Amino acid sequence: MTVISFTKMHGLGNDFIVINNLEYGLDLAYFAARAGQLCDRHFGIGADGLVLIEKGEQSPFFMRVFNPDGSEAEMCGNAIRCLARYLWERGLSPESAFRLETGAGLKEVILLLRGKEVLGVRVDMGAPVLESTTIPVSGPPRHVINETIRLDGEELIFTAVSMGNPHCVIFLPDLTHIPWQRWGMMLENDSLFPRRTNVEFARILHRQEVEVRVWERGAGPTLACGTGACAVVVAGVLTGRLNAPAQVHLPGGTLHISWEEGAPVSMEGPAEEVFNGSFHM
């Protein structure tokens, strides 16, 4: 019987089961099939996602992320910060700045240190993708900025951005009195998004500060989303609502996002280890 060790980590409450699959070499189909059980908060370990360390082709490590529904996410901003801390604190990466391979390409991570203490992680998230055919969004090739979608008897204005994974960003004057979770579930599975989508509902506080609620593709409501925070700032700048750098306030805490048009997006935030454990295969 194989015993698999794991580490529970989180970024602003967006939590993950981290497994070094370099030690086990288990088939990915096994983890895809068990992701729901492992992530279940009543009958499993409990998490928003399952993160595997695999061998990369362009860097020593590849980050693979499975959602609780067994689908695979191309990229996860909170998970990559957690994984960067995991690799550095265990001596798997001797440098505090290194590259990690993801389903959305190579990402540069920098551990923000005070001595040996990790204060946070900064990630070069790459340039946002705005072309509808790549995000993807159905319809003719275009930049999807301030378009209208009818939902639940309402007309909502959205902007679509990919940060390696698709996002639908909707700015609203109020987040308290809207059925954002129902809307998020509906939008995730709308035919407008061929590969489904993450959904962010955002309220501008002022030019460099925004409040966000997140519906994650394959996971549902989460306390934070790193790629979602990046997408919100990009959408806010493109639509003239925000200036960067900006603070993105999520239910689990705040991320700091910087972006200028034509440049990569920079994300900075915490990554915390919660506990270690094991389970039988």
What residues make up the domain containing 47? 3-126+269-280
Distance (Å) of CA 238 to CA 105, 183, 213 = 24, 23, 20
Q: Which residues are catalytic?
A: 76, 225
| Cα gap 256→268, rounded to integer Å | 5
Q: What is the pLDDT of residues 144-166, one digit of tens each?
A: 999 999 998 889 999 999 999 99
Maximum CA extent, the chain: 57
Number of domains in the chain: 2
Residues 30 and 102 in one domain: yes
Residues 252 and 183 in one domain: yes
On whether residue 213 sits in a domain, the answer given is yes
Q: Which of 93, 95, 84 is nearest to 122 (CA)?
A: 84
Between CA 17 and CA 47 the distance in angstroms is 6
123-134 pLDDT, tens per residue? 999 999 999 999
Clarify whether residues 49 and 98 are in a common domain: yes
Separation between Cα atoms, residue 183 and residue 152, nearest integer Å: 8
The answer to whether position 141 is within a domain reads no
CATH code assigned at 240: 3.10.310.10
Helix 77-89 and helix 226-238, axial crossing angle in degrees, nearest 10 = 130
pLDDT at residue 116 in the model:
87
Is there a domain that residue 46 lies in?
yes
Q: Is the pTM of this model over 0.85?
A: yes
